[in-house]
Structure formats: structure tokens, C-alpha cells
Structure 1
Amino acid sequence: MAIREVVSADGTTIVYRVTGPADARPLVLLHGWSGTLRCWGRAADELAGSFRVIALDLRGHGYSDAPESGYDDPKNWAADVAAVLAAESVTADAILLGWSYGGIVLTDYLAAYGTGALAGVVYTGSQAGIGRGVPGAQPGPAMQKAIPDVFEESAGRAMRGFAAFGNANTGPGRDKGEDAQRLFGGSVATLPRVRKALFYRTVDNTETLRTLDVPVLVLHGTADPVVPVENGRYIADTVPTARTSYWEDAQHGLFIEDPSRFVGEITEFAAGLG
């Protein structure tokens, strides 16, 4: 395992972790809102058996820099991903995977840089755009319930807000308690101003989805209370090359709810890319 960093176009330092064989297909993991590169848990470890896994701390999250502004500019998010790919000399055959807000960042990258470095794209529990009135960007009931408390400076109010997510990121089961608490810890550690700033933008990436020329896999739980399954269906219906896997009664964090199935479906998708 190697922890590395790179400076993005606007001077923001992006921290990322690389695991797995150096000569394997790159799999770039983009976490969600108020997450970290550690959110992937056992699934990332298992994926590293077959892929060169590159997991980012998005700007404002984890150990990456948290600039005062710029979170409303899609070009900044796109440049962060591009900087990591360049630092790792990834020029072809990579898979870009976005979870939750990571799907927006993923699509920001596609809009700015295209698919030249990619063999495929995976959206899991995610959407491609953001903002009121943007198609395929409706927040789910758990997200609606969590706002505005999750933006609060007050620790008590912030914790109350995050409690609205419940087990959405892990699914039911006491065996996921450690995973749930790790995710909550990473969320609270994200600065309140960053949590809020990520929602201060409106981006409709529909045209980018319509013109994608690489295979796309959409994974989504039908009971996702954070990013409704309708958002995943919008991606699938818009992308010409999309295939889907809708997990019946599953929630938001499929890679924690059923790591083995998640790894299996990503591995199967990659095998079909040639």
C-alpha cells in the first residue's frame, strides 16, 4: 500500500492511496459526500487482488486540502481526477468508479477530459448531476431529513443530522457496526463549510451521459434512501452503453452491504472490457 499526493490545477493537494499489483488494470475509486478514501472497507482490499486500486480523498475530505472556495466549479473536480491519473501514468484502460457524490465528480471529469484514459465507468448509488430541477438529481428522504443539521457547526446538531442516515450506508445487520461508525467518523471529520459548499452548485451532465462511448455499469439499491434508485435509472436510460444491476431492497453503500457481490460484479464488468 502506498499513500501519495499530487497537486491539482488550482494548487489543491489531493491525497490518494494505491493498492494491488502495479501492472493490473487501474480502478479509480471516488467516494461520496463527506466521505474518505477509507470508506470502501473490505471491498477495496478484495478488489486489490485483481486491480490496481487508486482511492482518492476528494478535495475538502480526508487528508486532501480543503480550500476556502472552488467547490462549485466542475472543472476543479475534473482536474483533481486528471491530476491523479497523470501522476500514476494512467493513460488507457482504467475503470472510473463513483459512489454517491463521487458519481457527480466522475461525470465532471468525463465532461472535461472525455474517455480517452478509460475502458469503462461504474456508478454505484450515485447520480451524475446536482441542483434543484436537474433531472436525475433528486435527493432521497434520508438526505432531506439530514439537511440542514449536517451543515451545522454545533457538534450535537451535526451528529443529529448524520443520525438521519441510520444504516443507509451499510444495510441492516449488527455485523456492519464497525463499518458504520467508520463512515460516521469520516463524515463528522469533514469540515462543516465543505459539507455545505458541495451543495452550492448546479450541474446538469445529461449531454455528457448521452455521448459516452465506453461501457457503463449502474449499480443501485432499490431501497436507497440517500440517492433514490430513480437517479440511477436516469443514468442508465441516458447512457447509450449502460448495463444495470438493481439490488432488490438494498440501500446506499452496496460495497459494505454485500462486499462479495459488489466485488464480483465489478470484476465481471471488467472482464467484459477486454
Structure 2
Amino acid sequence: MRRPAYVTSGRYAPPSARRELVAVSADGARLHVEVHGDEDAPPVVLSHGWTCSTAFWAAQIRDLAQDHRVIAYDQRGHGRSPAGRWYTTAALADDLLAVLEATLAPGERAVVAGHSMGGMTIMAAAGRPGFAEHVAAALLCSTGSARLVAEALVLPVRAGRARTRITGAILGSRAPLGPVTPVGKHVLRYATMGPAATPDQVEACARIVHGCPTGVRYAWSQVLAGLDLEANLTALTVPTAVIGGTNDRLTPILHARALAAALPDCAGLTELPGMGHMTPIEAPEAVTRVIRELAARRPAQHRSDTNQGTPKEKTP
């Protein structure tokens, strides 16, 4: 029997949701959404990265749901969200806005946190009317806005055309990852995590990443290879914090520093020494703390504060 695409025990096992729903995006893509915590608590929305799923946020969900309404969703093609027809940064933005509309009351605003491709989702959505209506503050975690392949450090060789070409071929491979094995975990740890990553952290990441369908992984890799969202940063005017790991090989710390310098309202840059790309799992307390600081600095509205009823839920 095939193991589930997440660990089932320990702090990185995803908790059961209070409720689940389906949000329908602009092109008809159907997105699996989970809501955790008290329905009347201030909302936090979590957007995961490439090859991940809602399970990636297990530690944050478990902590934040004690006093927040935590909304997490599977990006199209990931987790329990079926593959969509289109894979573009515009689709990422459409999907986030569909989730916000399906889960928040009119005018209700949330803290939105995105890891890796989830951070790119936030950048892609910045400037949209629905984003302005529903987002009070944002977190860009282990992410970048452009030049991802050229600046990745997966290959320990000098920067240049050869490294960029080979890195692109590796990250954009159509080869299936297959079952989780000791060799597979070793490769994943080297490419995506810091040297201090524990065996349970590596296992949690490996299960999630290996669970992503090969075709979906490839389709999004092509989008990320050509990513250029730098022009969108000026539209990201809400208070926005940035987190990066100093040992991140996929989005090296120079990306986090560049984002912090370019944001109109940077709420702080947190550099995590020795951490790799999978910071929500490698450093769960640090990531959760920044989300809480954003919520305290610019409190998200409670649903009752909007006094405009509840959102229209989109269900199967």
C-alpha cells in the first residue's frame, strides 16, 4: 500500500480541519481549502510552495489555530486540488483571490503568508482589487521574484550559462521521483534543507514533495524558470515581512534581501542562520512568530468586525 503524501504522527502531521470546502478559480480550477480554528477568530491564510501541499504548514496550523482562523489551500495540481488547464503566475493570483473570496466576508482582511511559490503567488496577486480588499499584511517566506534558476545554488559551481542550463534541466526534469527512499531523502535534504535538518523534518518534506504528480511538478517548473515579478513589488503596499534561510540553495538569501529592499512597506527581514529552503518545517517557531507579529502589528479584522455577513462558500 502506498504511504500517504504526508507523515501521520508527530508535529509535522497535518491536523484535521474544522471544515473543508472547494474554491473555484477564474478558469474553473477547483481548489481544496481547509479551515482550522474558531470561525470568529482573526484570519490567517497560508499559501504553500512548489511540490508541496497544505500538509507543509502543519506546525503553523497547529499553533496558530489556537487563537486564529487558519485557512490553507492546495495550489492547483497539488495535494487535493486537481490539475488545472493553465499554469501561469496569473493563475496563481486568480487562485489566491478565489480562496480569499470563498472564505472571508466582504471587507474582511487577513494576514497572508506564502512560502516559495506561495510567496510568488502573493506577489502575482498584489495590485488586484480583491487583494486590497482582503489582505492586511503579508509574509514572503523563502522566495524570490526573478532569476530563480540563474541564482540557484543547487550545483556547487561558478555562476554562468552552464550552471544555469544544468540547474534548469535538474529542476525541470520530467523524471518521476518515485517512492521515498534513503537516497531520495539524502538528495532532497541537500537541495532543499540546511545541514541541521532533523530526520523527522526530512521525512516530512520528502513525503510531501514525492507526493506531487510528475506532470504538475514539471508544468510549474517551467513557470518558475521564466519568473519575473519584480514589477509587482511596488503594488505590494501592505506591511510585508520577509524570511530567508542563509543555507537556502533554491532561493538563496540574496533574494530575501532584494525583496526587503524593494518592498514599499517592509515589516522586517528575518535571516535564519543555517536554514535551507523549507523554513516552515526547518524553523517552525520562527516562521509562526513572524506571522503572529504581523497579526499584532496590523490586526486582521474579525469576521464579526465587518458586520457584512459571511462569505459565499463554493462547494463541490
1:69-123 CA-to-partner distances (Å, cap 9, x unmatched) read 411x222211111111111134332111110111111211224444231110101
Q: Which residue of 2 aligns with 1:253?
A: 278
Taking the aligned partners of 2:182 and 2:210, their CA distance within structure 1 comes to: 7
1:187-220 CA-to-partner distances (Å, cap 9, x unmatched) read 2221111111112233422222123221010011
The SS at the match of 1:121 is strand
Q: Which residue of 2 aligns with 1:86?
A: 101
Which structure has the bigger radius of gyration? 2
Identity of matched residues, %: 27
1:210-261 CA-to-partner distances (Å, cap 9, x unmatched) read 2322101001111112211111111111102112111122222222223223
How far apart are residue 65 of structure 1 and its match?
0.9
1:3-31 CA-to-partner distances (Å, cap 9, x unmatched) read 22122111111001110121222111111
Which structure is richer in relative contact order (CA contacts within 8 A, separation 6 or more)? 2
The SS at the match of 1:227 is coil
Q: Which residue of 2 aligns with 1:152?
A: 175
Between 191-200 and 261-270, the greater mean CA deviation after superposition: 261-270
Taking the aligned partners of 1:145 and 1:192, their CA distance within structure 2 comes to: 16
Q: Which residue of 2 aligns with 1:64?
A: 81
Q: Which residue of 1 aligns with 2:92?
A: 77
Contact 2:61 2:70 in 1 (8 A): yes
The verdict on how the C-alpha distance between 1:23 and 1:131 changes in structure 2, with shifts beyond 3 A counting, is: same
How far apart are residue 273 of structure 1 and its match?
0.8
The SS at the match of 2:221 is coil
Q: Which residue of 1 aligns with 2:187?
A: 164
The verdict on how the C-alpha distance between 1:182 and 1:83 changes in structure 2, with shifts beyond 3 A counting, is: same
Q: Which residue of 2 aligns with 1:220?
A: 244
How far apart are residue 55 of structure 1 and its match?
0.8
RMSD: 2.8
Q: Which residue of 2 aligns with 1:266?
A: 291
Q: Which residue of 2 aligns with 1:100?
A: 116
The verdict on how the C-alpha distance between 1:109 and 1:162 changes in structure 2, with shifts beyond 3 A counting, is: farther
Q: Which residue of 1 aligns with 2:207?
A: 185
Q: Which residue of 2 aligns with 1:19?
A: 36
In structure 2, stretches of 5+ residues that fail to align are: 1-17, 156-165, 300-316
Number of equivalenced pairs = 267
TM-score normalised over the length of structure 2: 0.75
The SS at the match of 2:20 is strand
Q: Which residue of 2 aligns with 1:140?
A: 153
Taking the aligned partners of 1:183 and 1:251, their CA distance within structure 2 comes to: 12
